[in-house]
Structure formats: structure tokens, C-alpha cells
Structure 1
Amino acid sequence: MTERTVDVGRGISLAYEEIGDRDAYPIVLVAGLGQQLHSWPDAFCDELAARGRRVIRFDNRDVGRSTHMSFRPPRPKDMFLQRFSPEQYDLADMAADAAGLLDAIGVETADVVGISMGGMIAQMVAAVYPARVRSLTSIMSTTGSRWVGRPALSTWRRMMAPPPRSRDEAMDRAALMFRHVGSHGFPPDEEWVRELAGSSWDRDSSLAGIGRQLGAIFKSGNRTRRLRAITAPTLVIHGDRDRMVHPTGGAATVRAITGARLETVVGLGHDLPRGAWPTLLDLIDTHARPVTARSTDAPTS
């Protein structure tokens, strides 16, 4: 597991890691808003690799060690009024980054799994680059419709708080946030949440990119019509306790994508608690495996 950086086109470079056998079938994990590649836990990725997968995780643009843009993030008022800088990118641009990563590392098609904003990006990869996506798994995500998948008001208040100014403050803030949005049906692991926040700060303490990523979500608006173009077998996973992306977002995603299937995980919030890993890993692996078995294409390495 060695971190590398590659040019994915249009002036963007992405930092990525691969876990597992390079000759195994690729599975791409797309991180959520403000999250870096290691928000997909090492042990979770190791388990996917042990199931015969070539696991690829990466930093989206504007976080971690990938390219950071330089324009000022949109203000909350500007996002709600759809007033954006000409430089503001959207989710389709972030999907193009992901497709460019596949090009750069020689992967023709992959199973694509995204969580939260990463689910939105994964959906767009499947909609815009159908030949690149063997199967799609959208976790804790939504369609962009203003009527579904909205954060609770109590979550919005926490999201609008001033950014942390130190590593310790970032760790404290993450612990507080995940006590709120985390899974109440599984044992919490605050130590891991704090460790993740600390290592994220060490890799990238510039937080302006999170605002630009949020701008990408708002600029993209309602993507329901675009999602109707998805032909990849699609699994939608959502928790019944999600305060960040209301479960109506998962239901709307299923309605938008022909043949999509919804799996509701009881007690799951907006995180990846270790207690839910067996269920999530089985769902992801079982969904992708029949597609893999039907494929006559050898994996490209």
C-alpha cells in the first residue's frame, strides 16, 4: 500500500493508494465531503482485498494530497442562491477526475463504490462514463433534489460552525459531529474518529477545499434526470438513522436508477462503524461479484 500521485487531466492530480493483488478485479472507493482516502479504513480495505479485489482509494480534488484549487469558496448565501465563481467546479468535474484516475492507472472498468458526496460522484461516473462502471454502489447518498436527503437542522447548525484552528480542535470537532450523525445502533469508536481527524489534519490542514466541494454539490443541483441514464447494476445502501443525508435520499436514488435495489441497514447513521462492517462488506461484495462472474473482460492492470 504505497501512496502515489497521478495527473488525471485538466490540471488536476489525485493522490491514491492500491490495496490487494493488481491482477484482481478493481473496486474504486470514493470518499465523502471533506474526507480523505483513509476515511475508508485500512482494515475495511484489507477485507475487501482479501475477498479478491484490487482496492483503489483516493483523495478527491481539494482535499488531502490531491490538487487544491485557489479560488475563494462560495458563501452559504451564494450556494443557496446559485451564485458561483466561474471557477467553481461541479460533481461532473469530480466524476471526470475519477475517470481520469482510471485512465492514468490503466483500469478500463471497475466496480465503483461511493459514500455520501462520494456516492454522488460515483453516480455521475456511472451516468457519464457507463463503459467504465461494472457495478455501482451508492452509500448514504442522494440525488440532489431539494425535497429529499436533506440534513437535519441540528446537523446544518454544526456544519456552519467556524472551522477548527488546530489539530486538537479538529479532533474534538470530529468527535462532537460523529456523536451527532454517527450510528446509534452500533458501538461507537470515538478513538478512531479522533485518530482519523488527527491524521487528516496532518495530511492537509487547509480546509477551504471543503467549502469548494460543498459548492460542487449545490452547483450540480437536482441530478435525477442524469441518473436515469445509469445502466450499471446499482445497489443503494442507507441507514435508518442518518442525520446528515436523510433516508429519503436513498429512496429517491433507487427511484431514479432503473433496476436499482435499496438495502436499509437498521441502526446505521452517517459513518462506517466497525460493527456494521460485516453487513456492508457482504452487501458490497455480493452485489459486485455476480457482475464480475458474468464479465468476460480480464481485469486491466
Structure 2
Amino acid sequence: MTQRASANGIEIAYDTFGSSGGRPLLLVMGLGSQMIHWDEELCESLADAGHHVVRFDNRDVGESTHFHDHGIPAFGGNGQVPYLLDDMADDTAGLLDALGWESAHVVGASMGGMIAQLLAVRHPHRVRSLTSIMSTPSPGAARPTEAAMAALMAPPASDREGAIQRALATWKVIGSPGYPINHERITRLAGLSYDRCFDPAGSTRQLAAIMASADRAPMLKELTVPALVLHGEDDQLVPLSGGIATAEAIPGAKLITFPGMGHDLPRPLWPEFVGAIGELTAAAEG
């Protein structure tokens, strides 16, 4: 059941999985994606591996606070962005406070990986281990293909069916070429996302935050947290160079790459993700 917490001046919606006695594991999702994109079955698997799992909606998506009054940022102009990834990292720290967690193992996917990186930089005592999935320390380190950028910047849908069709078209481009597209899952998640909250402007504000935020590589070099980097070798949206740059920036980080994986989390790879994350968190606790 979805719960709500006050954090960093906003309201954050979140879910939990597993026993409160498990290793605390916070999942941070990517651009325009709601917490439901961390599949319940994957969350349950992480819980079964000994974690107390929390997934949540970032600001401007799902049932967390939206910044409607700020409108849509003008890219390439002199307009101010409503917030930066730093603010989203501070949201996450505030959620840890609300949960009563002094620290946690943090897993971030795509933009969520960027937020997780910054959480470790800005609040190092709050992060027991860091897992960065299909992410990058800066947009310049992993430039998307033209097809992926076109899919990302396509005009927003105007209704529920349009949102589903747009999701199917997007994942056809940026999904994993080595694994079959799960049309049923994409359709279900796109429909549920639309029903929970449809706010394309919020996703645009998140994208503006990504583009306006500083290169994290110099900051990541100062980290001492145990770190894992997972990345697909066929990612068109955040190419493999982003994962390599992340791993090279974080001292001692372990890099695992997956042939055939694009910019999603293919179900057949879930056991490998869970195993690698569980190994990292157990070692960090040891």
C-alpha cells in the first residue's frame, strides 16, 4: 500500500517490501518513470535476498509533489530551471529521515543513478553502498543515438491510449535488443502510470535538471563507499560509455556489463541483478 512522507519540503509517495529487519535498500527510478517501474516481483526478489526495500516516486512524477507552477523550462535559453539533481538527492536524504533510516544501500537506474551518485556525494554518511544502473556521471559522457533522442523528445500523448502507444514506441527503440519486448508489461505499466498521474511537463522539468546539473565525475572520485555499476552493452539512450565513466570515476567500483541489454531491466536478468546487489550489500554490511 502506498504511503506518504514529508521530505525536503515536499511530499513523497513510497512503497515497502520485506522485513524491517532486512538490510535497508532504497530504489531510485529514472526520468519520467514512476516507482511502479521497479516491478513488484523484482522488489520481492530483492526482499527475499535479505533487504528491506523501499521504492518511491521522485518529485514531478506519480503521487509525489509536482512543480506545476514552474511550467515547462525553455531549453537552450536563459530561463532558470526549477531545481537540480542536487535537490532530488536531498529529497532522497529527506525520505531516509522520514523512514527512520540513518543510512541505506542505494540503487539508482538511469536518472535515478545520477540521483544516487549525488546522494553519496552530498550525504556520504547516509549511503552504505551505491549501485548505479544504466547511468552516467554527465550527459557528455554518454550521448544518446539520434533514434533514442527522437524517442525521448517525441510530443507527449493526449490521452491514455496515446500514452500506451507512445510507451510501446519508445521501448521499441531504447529497450533491450537481446530480449523480447514484453508488450503486456509495457502496456500495463503505461496505463497504470497514466492513471496514477499523467504529467509530461514534470518529466521535462526532470530532464532540465539533468541537463543543468554539474559533471559528477570529479566529485565521485572522492567517494569511499562500496560501489557497483551495471550497464547494458546495447543501450542507445545512455550508451555503455556512461557506465564505464561511472565505474572509472568511483574508486574501487565494480563494473558488470550485459550483452543484449538496452535501457531497461530485462526480466531474464533479474536474478543476476539481485545476486550482484545482494553480494555488494552483504559485503558492505560485513
Same fold by TM-score greater than 0.5: yes
2:63 corresponds in structure 1 to: 65
- Partner residue in 2 for 1:284: 277
In the alignment, which residue of structure 2 is the partner of 1:102?
96
Please tell me the residue identity of whatever aligns with 1:40. Answer: W
CA shift, 1:145, in A, is 4.8
Residue from 146, 154, 157 that aligns with 1:153: 146
In 1, are the aligned partners of 2:31 and 2:206 still within 8 Å (CA)? yes
Q: What is the match of residue 214 of structure 1? A: 207
- 1:24 matched to 2:22: yes
Give the alignment partner of residue 108 of structure 2, picking from 114, 121, 131: 114
| Structure 2 partner of 1:52 | 50
Partner of 2:127: 133
Instruction: Identify the range of structure 1 (101-110 vs 182-191) with the bigger mean alpha-carbon deviation.
Output: 182-191
In the comparison of the two structures, how many residue pairs are matched?
285
d(CA) in 2 for partners of 1:84 and 1:258? 36
**Is the contact made by 2:49 and 2:274 (CA closer than 8 Å) also made in structure 1?**
no
Equivalent residue number for residue 274 of structure 1: 267
Whole-angstrom CA distance in 2 between matches of 1:98 and 1:133 = 11
Per-residue Cα deviation, 1:66-98 (whole angstroms, up to 9, x for no partner): 0101202213333xxxx342x621111100000
Match of 1:252 in 2: 245
Corresponding position: 1:240 with 2:233: yes
Kindly indicate whether residue 216 of structure 2 is the aligned counterpart of residue 223 of structure 1. yes
What TM-score comes out, normalization by structure 2 length? 0.97
* Structure 1 Cα separation of the partners of residues 139 and 62 of structure 2: 28
C-alpha contact (below 8 Å) 2:139/2:211 kept by paired residues? no
What is the letter of the counterpart of residue 268 of structure 1? M
Q: Which residue of 2 aligns with 1:180?
A: 173
What is the TM-score when the length of structure 1 is the normalising length? 0.92
For residues 84 and 114 of structure 1, what CA distance do their matches in structure 2 show? 28
CA distance in 2, matches of 1:272, 1:177: 15
Matched residue SS, 1:77: coil
| TM-fit CA distance, 1:260 | 1.0
Letter of the 2:189 partner, please give it: L
Matched, 1:76 2:80: no
Q: 1:12 aligns with which of 10, 13, 37?
A: 10
Distance 1:145 1:164, change over 3 A: closer
Equivalent pair of 1:145/1:223 in contact (CA under 8 Å): no
Quote the offset at 1:133 in angstroms: 0.5
Q: Alpha carbons of 1:178 and 1:145: their partners in 2 closer, same or farther (altered >3 Å)? A: closer
Does structure 1 retain, via aligned residues, the 8 Å contact 2:23–2:281? no
User: Residues 108 and 131 of structure 2 are in contact (CA less than 8 Å); yes or no, is this contact kept in structure 1?
Assistant: yes
Q: CA deviation at 1:188?
A: 2.1
Structure 2 CA distance for aligned equivalents of residues 213 and 34 of structure 1: 7
Whether the 8 Å contact between 1:187 and 1:275 is mirrored in structure 2 is no
Q: AA paired with 1:73?
A: I
Q: Is the 8 A contact 1:134 1:291 kept in 2?
A: yes
My pick for the range that moved more, 206-215 or 180-189, is 180-189
Cα deviations by residue, 1:218-243 (Å, 9 ceiling, x for unpaired) = 11032211222221111011000000
Following TM superposition, the consecutive aligned residue runs of length 4 or more in structure 1 with deviations greater than 2 angstroms are 75-78
Q: Is the 8 A contact 2:134 2:263 kept in 1?
A: yes
The amino acid that maps onto 2:91 is: D
Match of 1:297 in 2: none
Find the aligned partners of 2:245 and 2:202 in 1 and give their Cα distance. Answer: 28
Answer yes or no: is 1:201 the counterpart of 2:200.
no
Letter in 2 for 1:106: G
Paired AA for residue 180 in structure 2: P
